[in-house]
Chain A
Amino acid sequence: MSLITIAGRERLSHTAPIGPPPSPFLGRHLRPLAVPIALLAIWELLAHAGVADPRFLPPLEEVVARGVAEFSRGGLAFNLLASLERDLIGFVCGSVAGIALGLAIGFSRLLERLLGPVLLVHRQIALFAWVPLISMWFGGGEAGKVVFIALAAFQPALINTWQGVSGIPRSYRELAEVLTFGWFDFARIIAIPGALPQIFTGLHSALIYAWTATVGAELLLNIAPGIGGRMNEGQHLFHMDLLLLCILLLGGVGVVFNVIAGSLEHRLLRWRIP
């Protein structure tokens, strides 16, 4: 009897998961949140069980209280906006330059031969290795920070645009020849739309890299208004709640960026969905 049920259950497991089908809401919207919520719960548990020193790991509600206080006074909101502004300027400069150069290299065999190897070496250099050089050349102030962020965004935008354009299939290039397209029509009708999915992938990465670089620049270069500045403050004044709050905030902004980029991508590349 039991053998039969086991066999029956086994057969079922090949076709469908056992148990009631997950409700669409729970399935689609809550599942990605399960792990973060669990982590917060463990944090809370550790803080209250006396396992962790509350000076190093304050409970969640203290961090939340700190957040409420900071935002109601406007201090953290001001710093967040300062970081976002810096991030945005760097991201736009870097990704525009990256896309422009990527298109140029993708179109020109000569430029590809000249610049390709250099750029591939440049890619091997860790982003943060540029920090000392940038601070010497551009200073540790606002200019240096923005250059560093732009450099972070430049890399993925460039590489993806370049590879997107040079990956246009031969058959489409031949089609352009048959339709007697000039350079401009080839770029506008075939190359740029064809490379667009990869350009978006590049921009998406650039957005995340730029945000990482923003915090990096604020932590490593001169202190200025921004989330990184507050984190420095938290470290020096031993305000663990502030530090943790800033980290949560950084993650939150990253998630928001991801969602915005994903939905823009989905909307602009509708032709890919049959």
Chain B
Amino acid sequence: MTGPVAISEQGRGQSHALEIADVSKRFSVAGRRVQALSHIRLAVDDGEFVSIVGASGCGKSTLLRLVLGLDTDYDGDIRVDGHRVERPGLDRSIVFQEHRLLPWLNVEANVAAALRQSGLGAAERGELVRDHLHLVGLDQFAKAYPAQLSGGMAQRVAIARALVTKPRFLLLDEPLGALDALTRLRLQDELQRIVRHEGTTAVLVTHDVDEAVYLGDRIVIMHPHPGRIATILPVTDAVSRDRSDPNFIRLRDEVLSWLGVSRTGIDADAELARRSA
């Protein structure tokens, strides 16, 4: 086991903001060992937006938990700027699938709750909260309670709460998965705008292939049993952010075929076997 000094020396050579180095994770479910993640290797650079897609059970949410530091019982290393992640920190924020707003606090207080440990003064905190509510377009709802908001609005508050600490990494765990299709499309645009505006490095976990292609600079495709990375596809500049563009559709179809879904619905298994070989 290398000491912390050795790790940081090693980390200095590589300039990756986030590095997931050969991470494997096992769970014990009802006395049986289940391999949730197997030899995950992924490096994320500053300012990048990485989408992770995969069927449910491929371990993509588990991976986010490990990056957050909620669970440190795994093999391999997760490093931020060369330092191993030991615990949750305000440099890594998360938006969960459910908004997880505290129902007894109003919108403003929910966002401000994330700044409790920031060490900032009251005035500074107030300003940050106002700025971020403005960023998600909810200035008018600062005093509203979560029960008074629609699902899309509540999720926007959750996004404001995640960003108010100005985190280095924004982790998104199927953040739009529980919303209706129309709200989802609208929030995808908003998410893109907000993340660009803040310059945050983002890792999005989703099972919506369109969303992954639309938002990601790179798309990580995971396969289940055990959870592993099948491939990583770059989203080139040639793919404009237009959901109807032929290049967009081509890339989406490629992702779908990696996930074992063919356009015509036949040959899916054969395609998957060919890809995996």
Contact = CB atoms under 8 A, between A and B. Distances in A.
A193 B104 CA distance: 7
Interface string B98-119: 1010111110000001101100
B89 A271 contact: no
Interface string B123-150: 0000000000000000000000101100
Contacts of A175: 100, 102
B147 A271 contact: yes
A181 B147 contact: no
B68 A178 contact: yes
Nearest to A175: B100
Contacts of B116: 179, 181, 185, 189
Interface of B is mostly: loop
A182 B116 CA distance: 10
A174 B117 CA distance: 16
Nearest to B103: A271
Contacts of A194: 102, 104
A274 interface: yes
Contacts, number: 54
A189 B96 contact: no
A165 to B, nearest CB: 14
A71 interface: no
Interface in B87-102: 87-90, 93-94, 96, 98, 100, 102
Interface in A124-181: 171-172, 174-175, 177-181
Nearest to B94: A178
Given A172-B102, A193-B104, A178 B113 contact: no
Contacts of A272: 103, 147
A107 to B, nearest CB: 18
Given A177-B70, A180-B117, A196-B104, A273 B147 contact: yes
Contact of A274 (B70, B96, B104, B145): B145
Nearest to A177: B88
A67 to B, nearest CB: 44
A274 B103 CA distance: 10
Interface string B79-92: 00000000111100
Contacts of A172: 100, 102
A272 B102 CA distance: 11
A148 to B, nearest CB: 35
A58 to B, nearest CB: 52
Interface of B: 68, 70, 87-90, 93-94, 96, 98, 100, 102-106, 113-114, 116-117, 145, 147-148
Interface of A: 171-172, 174-175, 177-182, 185, 189-190, 193-194, 196, 271-274
Given A180-B87, A180-B117, 19 more contacts: A171-B96, A171-B100, A172-B100, A178-B70, A178-B93, A178-B94, A179-B117, A181-B116, A185-B116, A185-B117, A189-B113, A194-B104, A271-B104, A271-B106, A271-B147, A272-B103, A272-B147, A274-B147, A274-B148
